[in-house]
Amino acid sequence: MLILAINTAEAACDLALLRGETCLCERKEMLARGQDGRLPVLVQELFAEADLTLADLDRIAVVTGPGSFTGIRIGVAFARGLALSLDIPAVGLTSLEAGLPPEMIGPARAALAAQKRPPDRTWWTQELQQGLGVTEIAEVPEDSFDMRDLEIATPRALWAGIKALSLSPKDHKPSPAYARAPEIHTPKPKPQSST
């Protein structure tokens, strides 16, 4: 089974192309913005490097968050659109599921630093069993747990691709996993000048 794995939940485009559990090639490009323009180009480069075409693809795995609100939307929309156009399944994994290696199958509480600035330091956490989430993602204050009880997650497209091999697309839909509502700041109205 040929799988394209996508992770844009962070400030990067992280991609892997796998045949079963074997990684054919990987790409990771750090991007603060512009993932929407770079993602299709990097996918083309990945397939060219592997001497394959999109027609060879059997499944898509995408990291669904939490993470960058915009990055999550870009990755999920791209994965869903590509899967629809190729008539193949797409599978979603949370950043915490994609953040622990596939060989780590025992019970674990995965944690990923949430994107808030001090003094409001928080972590996204999820209980995993067999490498997959068995609880909803929670955002918890840093002082509410002992760091020694956690497995720090490092989301990777490669790990998402390996785990996606055995997942049902019906049970692991490629839908955004937001741990909190997006922080949107509307601009203040400009003062009216009196003339």
- Domain-wise residue ranges, the chain: 2-100+154-164
Mean pLDDT over residues 93-119, rounded? 90
Name residue, tokens 């949370």.
94
By mean pLDDT, which of 12-16, 149-153, 183-187 is the weakest? Answer: 183-187
What confidence score (pLDDT) does residue 193 get?
A: 65
2-100+154-164 has which CATH code? 3.30.420.40
Q: Which of 43-52, 112-121, 153-162 has the lowest mean pLDDT?
A: 112-121
Instruction: Give mean pLDDT, residues 78-102.
Output: 98
Q: For residue 39, give the nearest of 1, 85, 68, 77 by alpha carbon.
A: 77
Rounded Cα distance between 46 and 16, Å, is 8
Q: For the whole model, what pTM was predicted?
A: 0.90
At 120 the pLDDT is 75
Span 41-79, pLDDT tens digits: 999 999 999 999 999 999 999 999 999 999 999 999 999
For residues 144 and 71, the model is more confident at 71
pLDDT tier for residue 127 given thresholds of 50, 70 and 90: very high
How sure is the predictor about 143, in pLDDT bands with cuts at 50, 70 and 90?
confident
